[in-house]
Amino acid sequence: MSYEDDVKQVNRIIDQQDGPCILVGHSYGGAIITTAGNNPKVAGLVYLAAHAPDEGESEADNAKKYPSAYKSLIKGDDGFDYINPNNFPSDFAGGVAKEKADFMAVSQTPTKDSVFHAIIHIPAWKSKPVWYMVAKADRIINPDLERLYAERAKSKKIVEVQGASHCVFMTHPKEAAELIVEASKGSQ
């Protein structure tokens, strides 16, 4: 699958909805909702420790400007990337129960490297309301990059979660759910 294919898949689901919807993106999913959010049925965007590139930007280029803390990325010879399973619990899933984090590590689906280099066109956050959750201990996306994304999108609300890893939605589900509910009410 390509970035464009991922956006098409999300748009397929949006088009099946019978009314306005809120898109929620985590990590690479943020780049997907940044484009798919242009669908007229989308009323707002929620980013949970997610990328929100601007026109002409890619996740990979932004990560070079704001390097992340993890060093466990493995770039496969087949063009797919994954996180070293030995480092996955600490780098990706800090705060997640060990047994669950270990399962996540060995069951992760490799991601095609090219999706991280996709150039964004017409970012939806320029025309749709945004809510953003910053994971302050994120090792995958630099929290300063998350803040940049949140601020330049003029987020209606920015929630910073102390000690939260990249899996902020798992370790702080109440706060994530509250932000999503607030977005659903605030976009009406």
**109 φ, ψ (degrees, to nearest 5):** -95, 120
Contacts of residue 183, defined as CB under 8 A and 6 or more positions apart, other chains included, come to: 22, 44, 45, 46, 129, 131, 156
Q: State the pLDDT confidence band at 186, using cuts at 50, 70 and 90.
A: confident
- For the residues 152-168, what does the mean pLDDT come to? 98
Which tens digits make up the pLDDT trace of 30-44? 999 999 999 999 999
Which tens digits make up the pLDDT trace of 110-152? 999 999 999 999 999 999 999 999 999 999 999 999 999 999 9
User: Counting beta carbons within 10 angstroms of the beta carbon of residue 156, is it exposed (0 to 12), middle (13 to 18) or buried (19 or more)?
Assistant: middle
Q: State the pLDDT confidence band at 156, using cuts at 50, 70 and 90.
A: very high
The residue written with tokens 């800090």 in the block is 94
